[in-house]
Amino acid sequence: NSKVIQTPRYLVKGQGQKAKMRCIPEKGHPVVFWYQQNKNNEFKFLINFQNQEVLQQIDMTEKRFSAECPSNSPCSLEIQSSEAGDSALYLCASSLYREGDTQYFGPGTRLLVL
């Protein structure tokens, strides 16, 4: 019973198209993480926020993704130009503290790039 809401649950895009997904963190949680989970169940950290500020992101995210967590609006992650290798489950997780805290995950957005 996820309290973290992710939309849409499924997303199908052609190569080169933009793909945007959203996340509403659990109420009161200022920290948000985005992960990519591939078909082998491996997790890749993409980016994290505390309130509206980016804490850290990987090189791929900086170059090809656009992400934000505006005040009083859902967080979003957008791939600017989708590639076949982007097909994966994108998970959003929120927590109360930046370090060492339990992360509460949403159900994910499953992206398929054709």
Pair 17, 111: CB distance under 8 Å: no
Is 91 an interacting residue with respect to other proteins (CB under 8 A)? yes
CB of 78 to other proteins, least distance (A): 20
**Alpha-carbon distances, residue 32 vs 12, 18, 59, 73, 109 (angstroms):** 24, 22, 18, 13, 15
16-75 residues near other proteins, rule: CB under 8 A: 33, 40-43, 45, 48, 56
* Residue among 88 and 106 whose Cβ is closer to other proteins: 106
Alpha-helical runs (H) found in the chain: 59-64
| Minimum CB distance to other proteins, residue 19 (Å) | 19
Alpha carbons 84 and 59: distance in angstroms, whole number: 18
Residues that bind other proteins (CB under 8 A): 2, 4, 6, 33, 40-43, 45, 48, 56, 91, 93, 98-108
